[in-house]
């Protein structure tokens, strides 16, 4: 049984109140050092309320598993932060420090990420979920931000964190708590019923869902692991709503596909896992016990190279998109200061651009990523080369032709840039076309470096 300490946390830990590791659903996370050992820990600070007490109890019940972030102890202290008129009772969770980064950012830096790697990653996540479901606990917020690596080492384990939405599943889960990309149809239906009940005198039996919502979220994560973008998306990404009508309809109907370019070499076993997890009927959806026994996880998966890191590779873009999503979730999180977001139109989002491309197929075979309005033609042309590398069309010959045409324009607009000329020569450019196959990902990275030098010179 968890015993919450009432002594001051500073008696045992030196807390760096200025260093934040991040902000969870219910509060910020800081770094602390245990005085008698020098060991580093993460300290999550939450206001002492019934919901926070539930989070602590859920996390404590699940702690101790190799793929769940360890909760060591909890303090109850009165704290007053800058800007507050008086102190408040807060719970301080002493957690295992995870230094290895979040799931998708870690993968975006990997070279040679294969289906076998994806299967191994999935098994670790599945083992964490199996541990929770074995205790009849629904996490209700499975997403890549809550899947952290212990360290930067290649063999570092991945662990599940943030139990702010976790709850014991007694068949009475009703609260529509979720993150847009990963929400199951049942939770969206709970949201719809919840809204209807608030505006009417409806006294029908409340709509409930169960821990199978975690399995849907896991299906979305696996889908993104395999190709780099989500199965369900908004047709109007500039919408201020977290989920617009088109995205809601796709989730409720389970409408998604396996685009040929990214999925052609993915094994049937992997696709079977995704299909059985992204099943609208929760009674037919794969359970966690069925998943950990599936042949994709129990037998050696193919060592096939995946394209997903290419879509996750640009850290800046992903951070901008994450910030945009964060603005959609402000009502669900404690935000300590307003976020200054760029206009959506100025953010080049690999995931959404790819989805827009798939939607427009048949109308044209190229993708135009609008550059900032003030960029000169030389910079615009380089951005077009990057776009041609990152977002090729289904037909490889057309992709190569689009890239070659973009390179010709870039060379003419950057005639006085020797670095660009040397770069294309390295990729066997003969002045009119590439004589050998081009590594699109490598070229895009090197063009970005040239673009960075040009932008720095303009500051």
Asked if residue 220 has pLDDT above 80, the reply is: yes
192-206, 246-260, 365-379: range with lowest mean pLDDT: 365-379
Q: Are residues 227 and 304 in the same domain?
A: yes
**pLDDT of amino acid 242:** 62
Report the CATH number that the domain containing residue 250 is assigned in CATH: 1.10.510.10
| 180 assigned to some structural domain | yes
**pLDDT of amino acid 347:** 45
> Cβ atoms within 10 A of the Cβ of 459, count?
4
What is the CA 250 to chain-centroid distance, rounded?
19
Average pLDDT value for residue range 46-70? 94
Dihedral, CA of residue 124, residue 128, residue 133 and residue 138, to nearest 10: -120
**pLDDT of amino acid 11:** 95
Pairing of strands 137-138, 28-34: unpaired
Asked if residue 363 has pLDDT above 70, the reply is: no
- Single residue among 332, 361, 393 that ends a domain in this structure: 332
Q: Are residues 76 and 109 in the same domain?
A: no
Range of the domain at 233: 101-193+206-332
Q: Are residues 287 and 271 in the same domain?
A: yes
Q: DSSP letter string over 260-305?
A: HHHHTTS-HHHHHHHHHHS-SSTTTSPPHHHHHTSHHHHSPPP-PB
Instruction: Say whether pTM exceeds 0.95.
Output: no
**pLDDT of amino acid 418:** 87
Dihedrals φ, ψ of 37, to 5°?
Answer: -125, -20
Average pLDDT value for residue range 192-212? 67
Q: Are residues 226 and 304 in the same domain?
A: yes
Q: What is the pLDDT of residues 328-345, one digit of tens each?
A: 443 333 333 333 444 444
| 79 assigned to some structural domain | yes
Interatomic CA distance for residues 305 and 106, integer angstroms: 16
Asked if residue 373 has pLDDT above 60, the reply is: no
The total domain count for the chain is 3
Q: Are residues 187 and 166 in the same domain?
A: yes
- Single residue among 79, 96, 113 that ends a domain in this structure: 96
Q: Which residues are catalytic?
A: 141
Please give the mean pLDDT across all residues of the chain.
81
CA dist 95 to 33, 251, 328, Å? 11, 34, 27
**pLDDT of amino acid 173:** 66
Q: Are residues 314 and 226 in the same domain?
A: yes
Interatomic CA distance for residues 49 and 348, integer angstroms: 40
> Cβ atoms within 10 A of the Cβ of 426, count?
11
Report the CATH number that the domain containing residue 39 is assigned in CATH: 3.30.200.20
Q: Are residues 139 and 231 in the same domain?
A: yes
* 5: confidence class by pLDDT, cuts 50, 70, 90: very high
């Amino acid at each position: 049984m968890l015993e919450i300490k009432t002594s001051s946390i500073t008696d045992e830990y030196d807390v760096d109140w200025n260093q934040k590791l991040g902000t969870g659903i219910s509060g910020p996370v800081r770094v602390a050092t245990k005085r008698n050992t020098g060991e580093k820990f993460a300290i999550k600070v939450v206001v002492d309320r019934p919901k926070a007490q539930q989070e602590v109890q859920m996390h404590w019940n699940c702690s101790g598993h190799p793929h769940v972030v360890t909760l060591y102890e909890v303090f109850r202290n009165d704290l007053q932060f800058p800007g507050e008129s008086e102190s408040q009772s807060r719970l301080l969770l002493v957690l295992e420090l995870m230094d290895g980064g979040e799931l998708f950012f870690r993968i975006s830096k990997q070279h040679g990420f294969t289906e076998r790697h994806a299967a191994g990653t999935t098994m670790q996540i599945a083992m964490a979920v199996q541990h929770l479901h074995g205790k009849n606990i629904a996490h209700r917020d499975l997403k890549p931000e809550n899947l952290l690596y212990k360290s930067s080492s290649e063999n570092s384990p991945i662990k599940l964190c943030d139990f702010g939405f976790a709850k014991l599943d007694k068949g009475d889960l009703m609260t529509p708590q979720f993150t847009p990309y990963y929400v199951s149809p049942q939770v969206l239906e709970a949201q719809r019923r919840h809204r209807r009940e608030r505006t009417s005198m409806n006294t029908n039996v409340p709509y409930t869902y169960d821990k199978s919502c975690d399995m849907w979220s896991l299906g979305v994560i696996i889908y993104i692991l395999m190709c780099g973008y989500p199965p369900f998306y908004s047709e109007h990404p500039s919408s201020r709503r977290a989920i617009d009508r088109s995205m809601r309809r796709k989730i409720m109907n389970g409408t998604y596909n396996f685009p040929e370019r990214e999925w052609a070499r993915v094994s049937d076993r992997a696709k079977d896992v995704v299909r059985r997890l992204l099943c609208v009927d929760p009674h037919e959806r794969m359970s966690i016990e069925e998943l950990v026994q599936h042949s994709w996880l129990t037998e050696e998966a193919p060592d096939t190279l995946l394209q997903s890191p290419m879509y996750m590779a640009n850290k800046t873009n992903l951070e901008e998109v994450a910030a945009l999503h964060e603005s959609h979730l402000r009502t669900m999180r404690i935000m300590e200061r307003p976020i200054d977001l760029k206009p959506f139109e100025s953010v080049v989002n690999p995931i959404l651009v790819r989805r827009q491309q798939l939607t427009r197929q048949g109308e044209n075979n190229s993708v135009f990523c609008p550059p900032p309005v003030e960029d000169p033609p030389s910079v615009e042309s380089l951005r077009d080369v990057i776009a041609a590398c990152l977002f090729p069309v289904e037909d490889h010959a057309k992709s190569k032709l689009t890239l070659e045409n973009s390179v010709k324009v870039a060379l003419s607009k950057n005639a006085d840039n020797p670095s660009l000329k040397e770069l294309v020569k390295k990729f066997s450019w003969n002045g009119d076309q590439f004589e050998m196959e081009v590594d699109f990902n490598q070229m895009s990275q090197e063009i970005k470096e040239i673009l960075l030098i040009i932008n720095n010179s303009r500051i």
